[in-house]
Structure 1
Amino acid sequence: MERKRFSVLFFIKRSKLLKNGEAPVRVRVTYDRLYVELQLKRSVKVPLWSQEKEKSTGKDRNSVELNHYIDALRVKFYQIYQD
């Protein structure tokens, strides 16, 4: 039996900066070589984004809220996968 691969990756689109200079946050959900990429209705200042952590490194309110939102989405995606 072949095991299906599942992953969730959060990243920013540096090539599509918004008018305010921030980059939109996106998520890519992959399942067995098929993927869907979604743009979250959130953005972050480019220097505050850590791709290693897939989160904002800022300590301001917007960064903290974004990180909580990313954590909640990650949990929801994995719960859906488990069901």
Structure 2
Amino acid sequence: MKRTTFSVVFFCKKTKLTKKGTAPIYARITTSGRSTEIYTQCRIEPEHWNQRLERCMLRDPVSTQINGILATYRTNILAAYG
């Protein structure tokens, strides 16, 4: 039986900053060593991103909304895989 691995990681792509100083948030989906990146339609200032937690660090309404969107993305991706 072949073993498969699966992971979802969110990250802020700091190399694609806009003039306003925001960077896009991507989801990297890896299955059995093959990965693909999906743009989540969310942008954030890189200094407000916590890569270890894969979330916005601020507690304002916009950051809370972004964290909710990312949680929904994760739920949908895991549901599609499982």
Same fold (TM over 0.5): yes
Q: Does residue 16 in structure 1 map to residue 16 in structure 2?
A: yes
- SS of 1:26's equivalent? strand
Identity rate of aligned residues, in percent?
A: 30
Q: Using the TM superposition, give the Cα deviation of residue 2 of structure 1 relative to its aligned residue in structure 2, in angstroms.
A: 2.2
Work out the CA distance in 2 between the residues paired with 1:62 and 1:20.
Answer: 16
Number of aligned pairs? 82
Q: Does residue 62 in structure 1 map to residue 72 in structure 2?
A: no
**Structure 2 unaligned regions, length at least 5:** none
Q: How does 1:2-81 map to 2 (within 5 A)?
A: 2-81=2-81
Runs of 4+ with deviation above 2 angstroms: none
Work out the CA distance in 2 between the residues paired with 1:48 and 1:58.
Answer: 7
Q: Using the TM superposition, give the Cα deviation of residue 59 of structure 1 relative to its aligned residue in structure 2, in angstroms.
A: 0.8
1:18-49 C-alpha deviation (Å, 9 max, x unpaired): 12101110110011111111112110111110
* AA aligned opposite 2:22: E
Work out the CA distance in 2 between the residues paired with 1:4 and 1:68.
Answer: 28
* AA aligned opposite 1:49: W
After TM superposition, the score normalised by the length of structure 2 is 0.94
* AA aligned opposite 2:65: E
Cα RMSD of the aligned pairs, angstroms, is 0.8
After TM superposition, the score normalised by the length of structure 1 is 0.93
